């Protein structure tokens, strides 16, 4: 299993996945810097962290899951190397498990970098603003808690995107499903059924009702683990010739 994880890491190093992974933190830093420097941002760290995590959970996190899983799957789809990869002297399910693990690891790294980028952008922009300071202390614990919980709640949508991207050779299929899901999420935000919609689970962590946030966390993790487990078994039994 370790050798499969290492092999997957080598493939990712030579792909566009790392470029796409670097895009959300850079975007967040640039936007945060401009907003802070122009005095259009909040003057409290708590509000800054909440607003930054809302943008991440509602839009950038699902879109990152779309792009990263689709590009990861194209490492095998594009050169049509599934037959070769699955012919390795390893159980097929381990091959898919290694890819699923890396999909989650990459998104975890991106989540951490986005959190740091949001905070650093504010620190970098404050000297250029009129106030030059925030009115409260930076709460790293709040930031880590929010982004970590959003990451866990996003396991469901990440698993769905990974399964679709791995199953279908066309890049457009995975991207279309992801964009469609994100679009529906916009309309379903205020719906009582929004809690059960995978694309909305990360942002539901910010719900004012603690029970709703905890349910989103449980559904996101439980649903994601279930999709990964069933998906890996299904993919391993398919004929990839």
Supply the DSSP string of 121-146, one letter for each residue.
HHHHHGGGSSS-S-SS---HHHHHHH
Looking at the 3D structure of the chain, how many domains does it have? 1
Would the pLDDT of 137 be above 80? yes
Can you list the positions of beta strands (E) in 62-124? none
For residue 103, give the 3-state DSSP assignment.
helix
pLDDT tens string 150-194: 999 999 999 999 999 998 888 888 888 888 888 887 777 766 776
How far the first Cα of the chain sits from its last, in Å, is 23
Q: Rounded to an integer, what distance in angstroms lies between the CA atom of residue 34 and that of residue 228?
A: 39
Q: Which domain holds residue 120?
A: 2-237
Q: Is the pLDDT of residue 241 over 80?
A: no
pTM for the full predicted model = 0.90
CB 66: neighbour CB atoms within 10 A? Answer: 25
Lowest mean pLDDT among 77-81, 95-99, 184-188, 202-206: 184-188
Which range (74-83, 94-103, 113-122) has the least confidence? 74-83
What does the block give as tokens for 173? Answer: 């299929």
């Amino acid at each position: 299993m370790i050798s499969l994880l290492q092999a997957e890491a080598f493939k990712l190093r030579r792909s566009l996945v790392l470029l796409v992974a670097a895009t959300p933190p850079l975007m967040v830093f640039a936007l945060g810097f401009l907003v802070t420097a122009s005095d259009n941002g909040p003057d409290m760290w708590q509000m800054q962290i909440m607003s930054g995590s809302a943008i991440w959970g509602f839009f950038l996190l699902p879109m990152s899951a779309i792009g990263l899983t689709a590009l990861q799957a194209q490492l095998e789809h594009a050169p049509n190397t599934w037959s070769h990869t699955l012919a390795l002297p390893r159980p097929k399910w381990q091959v898919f498990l290694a890819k699923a693990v890396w999909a989650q690891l990459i998104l975890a790294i991106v989540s951490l970098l986005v959190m740091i980028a949001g905070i650093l952008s504010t620190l970098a922009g404050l000297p250029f603003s009129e106030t030059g300071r925030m009115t409260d202390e930076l709460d790293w614990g709040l930031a880590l808690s929010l982004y970590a919980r959003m990451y866990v709640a996003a396991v469901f949508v990440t698993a769905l995107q990974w399964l679709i991207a791995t199953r279908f050779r066309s890049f457009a299929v995975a991207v279309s499903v992801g964009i469609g899901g994100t679009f529906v999420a916009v309309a379903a935000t205020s719906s009582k059924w929004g809690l059960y919609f995978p694309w909305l689970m990360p942002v539901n962590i910010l719900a004012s009702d603690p029970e709703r946030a905890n349910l989103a966390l449980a559904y996101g993790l439980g649903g994601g683990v279930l999709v990964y487990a069933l998906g890996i078994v299904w993919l391993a039994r398919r004929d990839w010739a």
